Structure 1
């Protein structure tokens, strides 16, 4: 997402210099320019997604350090950078004490401008997300969360039940968990958990490029057992509004806020469910011990591979409704599917799920063996322990600026010739 920057430039010459510098940056955008401290203070509250304010030392009528103090006091999540002709030790110390996030010389190169803006903007967004989360009870994990996508080889074999139970087990282990119902046309999570909610994942599709904690808070259902739930739309036809791009953005937003994101993809392939499978750290195909289910799993995994969504050896099968009396046993399932198979299985004890299903209380499972099976699978998936934080390697400054070494003062000289 593009960083949003406000400029405080006392003259048109300084404005044109800074604007020329930002034209070199692919990841930053000037959203407003102001000639006075009053304009800046009045405009900042109107730009909730503003990341950085870049203020020239000659901006008035308020002394520039007073402007920085006021912005830091009123908008602590906003990064302010002071632009000066020369970075002196006293100037730097005074600016930092006033609350600035950095001091930049007008002679700085475009690469230095890019680095300073991106660092400050990243800090601003992180702090803003934490402040929003604290006020709206939206967890922020502080690391890249784990996404687990479950897809059924056919309907009615326990995919939704498994997704809910895995989420419950993870929440009981004190993980921050979001359960996403991505079975867009016939999601059954509300029935299994006895809940109603006016919002669904489709409501986030139109704002997927800029999802805030406030938007999530309004859309998610918070279950008493600690799980946050993002539901499928109540009207199945609305599922067509969920594009692959929107699914990517939404899951990315959830991954940054929760330790565990469990996605119920249903038994039908859509753009959104394919994106979830592609992004998932763990992709699970749920099968029962019967040939129609196994063949359905074969077709689904083969389709993922043809569409370059996910390779077969990167998919793990989970066997439900297992019994030693079944004609089809785990080894045969593994051989037919040609994918890895979880060591643990979900036993065939339908009666033990009746009370939980009929009351909408997933915890009311009457069989200890079945509860244990879900815990073992959750442990095997890695839901009970905190994963090491994963980080993406940022682009280099040369990539952001095309490798050019132009200074802001150099641009000013060009404008004057």
Structure 2
């Protein structure tokens, strides 16, 4: 496996020497050289598969440690190596505080460079595997995008009813991505100042805390991330920022309902691509049905979403309508997955008084059934992702063991099996501990950031402790402790062990950086 490296340095001699050294390494590929700190994020965007970033401490007028800290916060699964004049204990400690994984001196030999970079790359691979397994285990929340075939078909109302029906059993986020004319805030009677567009400039640093600060609590349990009050600001949203918002929502809420409106842009196309489920809302009238057919065809042509991967919902259906469900399916040229009946004057009154989330009726019941079918059953606590990955590796090891050397003696086989099992146990335990260290580091930095943003007072330790613990979940959070002082924040995370009586603790301290 090739380790992909990005080198950031403004010194030509350093660039020339390291480029020559890396060219001699068989398993290392230098994908790009960056001479300015401002271009590092762009390079990472162009090369998302980079494993290791080597940062010269002299870049950006000697602020290389700050560059490493900023990039590491935005890309926690990227391995960062600091390039220094002399690799001593002080330099190593400073690099660790900035989020780097290792240190290289400018005069390092080829063998040393390869060893350090491959070691960091192995850590990156283990961390990314753990995160991927976490997503496969079902912990990543479901994202449902709701679009309208044309304006006025009730896509926003359907999105709201779906979100309202799920809050009793899940954490739910409702996002108004109809950036020019979205009005979910008015439907809920909420006055907003912040909107989803405010996340564009910090798309690379998206965290759960930022989402909480930008969204609003709505009576009933929904968390609303609204559209901008000024529709022209919708042009600020980019496809990259939209993807960052969707990915952040997955790990903040168990279910996220996103209303993308009826107008297709690069940003809404990105949301439709990233969503787990896409719903197209249509009403039983010919203009809306023809618009739905054109929309599905356009999504296919632009490779946004295949027709078969879109759920069509017939809204405001009534038995007196001339257009039946079967006729609607023929016109749209796609199966109608569900219908929501016309709520009549009671529903219209609830919409006008911003009380639709608290009301009830046949439309609410139908939307709730559809939402339950789309989202699926509640997950009753998945197995820890790292343990799943370890169990999968252990299972493969056992299958390989059964197929090897069937004719060996009965004495050699148990010994070989015991040695292999011990190696697997140690490897799995090391992976679990490394994951705990990564989580503790992120939590410590979040707590230190909270302390640095406000004057020290009686409430500061509690706020910092809460923000730090918000970065943890499940068994990591329940066994974690946080120590807060005016100068630093220390997080202690207890890693699960396979050996009874053994306690592995990952403790990470983050210094408080006061912002003036």
SS in 1 for 2:235: helix
Q: Deviations over 1:208-229 (max 9, x none)?
A: 2332334323322232433222
- In 1, distance between residues paired with 2:161 and 2:140? 22
Q: Deviations over 1:259-296 (max 9, x none)?
A: 22211111222222222222222111111111111111
Out of 172, 185, 201, the residue aligned to residue 177 of structure 1 is 172
Q: CA deviation at 1:144?
A: 3.1
Q: Structure 1 45/341 Cα, relative in aligned 2: closer, same or farther at 3 Å?
A: same
SS in 2 for 1:172: coil
Q: CA deviation at 1:178?
A: 1.8
Out of 344, 347, 350, the residue aligned to residue 341 of structure 2 is 347
5 Å-filtered alignment, 1:211-290, equals 211-290=206-285
Q: CA deviation at 1:146?
A: 2.0
Q: Structure 1 237/83 Cα, relative in aligned 2: closer, same or farther at 3 Å?
A: closer
Out of 352, 366, 379, the residue aligned to residue 373 of structure 1 is 366
Task: Work out the number of aligned pairs and report it.
Answer: 337
Q: CA deviation at 1:19?
A: 10
- In 2, distance between residues paired with 1:107 and 1:186? 55
- In 2, distance between residues paired with 1:244 and 1:208? 10
Q: Structure 1 307/46 Cα, relative in aligned 2: closer, same or farther at 3 Å?
A: closer
Q: CA deviation at 1:232?
A: 1.2
The aligned residue for residue 193 of structure 1 is 188
The aligned residue for residue 69 of structure 2 is 47
Q: Which has the higher contact order (CA 8 A, sep 6+)?
A: 1
Out of 353, 371, 378, the residue aligned to residue 385 of structure 1 is 378
- In 2, distance between residues paired with 1:373 and 1:82? 59
Q: Structure 1 209/83 Cα, relative in aligned 2: closer, same or farther at 3 Å?
A: closer
- In 2, distance between residues paired with 1:225 and 1:24? 52
Q: CA deviation at 1:55?
A: 7.8
SS in 2 for 1:351: helix
Q: Structure 1 204/373 Cα, relative in aligned 2: closer, same or farther at 3 Å?
A: same
Q: What TM-score results when the alignment is normalised by the length of structure 1?
A: 0.67
The aligned residue for residue 312 of structure 1 is 307
- In 2, distance between residues paired with 1:154 and 1:63? 60
Unaligned 5+ runs, structure 1 = 85-104, 127-140, 392-417
Out of 30, 39, 59, the residue aligned to residue 24 of structure 1 is 30
Q: Structure 1 4/222 Cα, relative in aligned 2: closer, same or farther at 3 Å?
A: farther
Q: What TM-score results when the alignment is normalised by the length of structure 2?
A: 0.55
Out of 149, 152, 176, the residue aligned to residue 153 of structure 1 is 149
Q: Deviations over 1:182-234 (max 9, x none)?
A: 11111010110111221111111233233233432332223243322221111
Q: Structure 1 271/297 Cα, relative in aligned 2: closer, same or farther at 3 Å?
A: same
Question: RMSD in angstroms over aligned alpha carbons?
Answer: 4.2
Out of 356, 366, 373, the residue aligned to residue 362 of structure 1 is 356
Q: Deviations over 1:91-133 (max 9, x none)?
A: xxxxxxxxxxxxxx83755873452352477599x7xxxxxxx
